[in-house]
Structure formats: structure tokens, C-alpha cells
Homo-oligomer: A and B are copies of this chain.
Amino acid sequence: MRSLAILTALGVCAFATQAAAQSWRPPAPSERCPSKWGAADEPGSGNHMKPANVLRAAKLIKTGEAFELAHVLGRDMPLNPGRQYDVHTKRSTGPFGTNQRYSNEELIVSEIGQVGTQFDGFTHQAIDRLLYNCVKMDEVASRNGFTKLGMEKVGTLMTRGVLIDIAGLKGVDVLPIDYEITVADLQQALQKQGVRIEPGDAVLIYTGWSKHWGVDNKLYTSGCPGIGVAAAEWLIKQDPMLLGADNWPVEIAPNPDKSINLPVHNIALTVNGVHLLENLVLEPLARARAYEFAFIMQPLKLQGATGSTVAPTAIR
């Protein structure tokens, strides 16, 4: 593997023609609501979870090889500001019975839906206090979760998964921190890999940024390469079940247009009802050139929650 020092130098050339940052304004409520799934719809892109898509995915399982797409949830993982993950072992107070049984548990204190490899639901983000499908955030929020659009309603997602290896396309281990993935990048990578995005796919983008996970956590969360507004809008037009990446927000952060803040979160979750999947482990897939696979994920049924830490799998 080439050294990161060299890659950084190469990167300057490889990314020289990057387009200027485009700005974005949220569509008005009347333009974005009701969503294409209907006025009372809650699942959004989760509507793609149906027997036909499960079968489509199952047919891709040919060797039984499974790739774990989640990081370990531990003390040395990066955490975004304001997030914590604390495990307090509860050592046994036994023994119980003549079998001298002991029982250990642990208390965990964490934004459990928003740490580690994580899946975003639609209560996570709002535009001007309106959630997906223009549900009023303040009306459905309670102290103990949201009464609509909660994570417990998602259920297992199984569909065809597609990896788009942008780091590979660019010939680098890790994309530079300020690299915005373009529509052309996505199209060229797909062409190079010989795969196409189909409706209902789980689309996973490899940036290489995960190489910093647990190695330089401060760098990891300080920003990242990723898709911007244009690439997100193009991907969403392909009608995916979800968009994922091996960085923390799927999208480039901060956005090149400093006036807008994580716009892809709003474009995907709020405007279009498309789930996001963050902090993935995709390097093994990229190395194995596993570009098409059965994607399986089981979000926790956290009532009213904004997201779920997950441990998804790619199987081929």
C-alpha cells in the first residue's frame, strides 16, 4: 500500500478539477409534502422492504461469504461532539443455587441510536421544525421519544446492496478531507465496476475515510470527504432504499458552501424520506471487489428513537 504522505501529494493533482460547490435551499413544505410515498407515509424509502426485494437479494447469495459492515462499539471509537458511550460492568452478586451460578450484566449510557455504525431515522433531522412528510417536530416529540416516525417501525431491511468505490476510482487509499464526490465520480465508478443501481438498492459509498477510525479519532470527526448536494440528488433519483458510507455523515463535511449545514441530511431524510447509514466498514468489500451483494440490516426497535446503532452485513 502506498503511504498516506504520497497519496496526499497525488491527491492534490487528482482532485484539481473538482467543480465549485453548489448551494442548496430547502424546497418549501408545499413542494416537498406529501412525499412520493403519500401524505401519511412513515416508512419512506423503507417501503422498498418487500418480498420481491428480499428475493432479489437472496439470489445474490452464492458462496455464503459474509462481510461485517460495522465497527466495534468501544471506548476507543470516535464520537461526534455531545455523544457518549459508557459501559459499566455489573459484576455478579451470586452465587445462586447449588449450581453456583453467577450472572453479569452491564449498564450502558449512550446516545445508542447515534453512535458507532448508525442508521438514521426520520425524526433525526428537520427543516425549520418540520420532519419528513412535514410532520411537526414539536407535536410528536416527547421526553421519551417521538410518537411518529420512530425507529421501532423500520424493521429488518434486506435488499440488493451496491458498493461504489470512489477511493478505488481515484487510485487513493483515502479521499482528501475536503473532497466532494461528484455525479461523474459515481457514474464512472459504477461503469468501471460494471454494476448499475436499481430501485430499492442499498447504495454504499467507499471513501477510505474509515482508515482514520480508532487511529486518529479527532481527525475522523473533524470533517470528511463524501457526496454533496448534486451527487445526493442524483443518487436519490435512482430510488434507493438507503445511502451509506464509511464516514460519519455520508456527505462531505463541512459542506463547501459554508452557508449550508449538512444539507444531504435534509435532502435525504427530510425532503425525500431516504435513510442514511453512517460509519460503515467497507474496506473488506472494496478489497474483495464485492460490488453487488445481499445487504441485511436489523435496526433495533427503539420506540420513538431517531436512529439505531446497527451491525449490518453484506453477503454474497
A53 lies within 8 A of chain B by Cβ: yes
The residue on B at minimum CB distance from A306 is: B104
Cα distance A155–B68 when bound, in Å?
Answer: 7
Partner of A61, one of B54, B68, B108: B54
Cα distance A311–B301 when bound, in Å?
Answer: 7
A234 lies within 8 A of chain B by Cβ: no
Interface residues of A in 105-136 (CB under 8 A from B): 105-114, 116-117, 123-129
A145 touches B87 (CB 8 A): yes
Given contacts A73-B303, A313-B156, is CB(A104)–CB(B124) below 8 Å? Answer: yes
Cα distance A302–B49 when bound, in Å?
Answer: 27
Of A95-103, A204-212, A235-243, the one touching chain B: A95-103
Of A188-196, A215-223, A256-264, the one touching chain B: A256-264
| Chain B residues in 8 Å Cβ range of A301 | 68, 70-73, 116-117, 311
B311 touches A156 (CB 8 A): yes
Closest CB in chain B relative to A65 CB, distance in Å:
6
**Residue tally, chain A, CB below 8 Å to B:** 101
For A66, A89, A129, which residue has the most chain B Cβ atoms within 10 angstroms?
A: A89
Supplied contacts A102-B128, A300-B300, 13 more A-B pairs, CB within 8 Å: A51-B66, A54-B64, A66-B155, A73-B152, A82-B90, A84-B107, A88-B88, A88-B90, A88-B107, A89-B144, A104-B125, A104-B141, A158-B296
| Chain A residues proximal to chain B, CB less than 8 Å | 24-26, 49-55, 58, 61, 63-66, 68, 70-75, 82-84, 86-114, 116-117, 123-129, 137, 141-146, 152, 155-156, 158, 259-263, 265-266, 294, 296-307, 309-313, 315
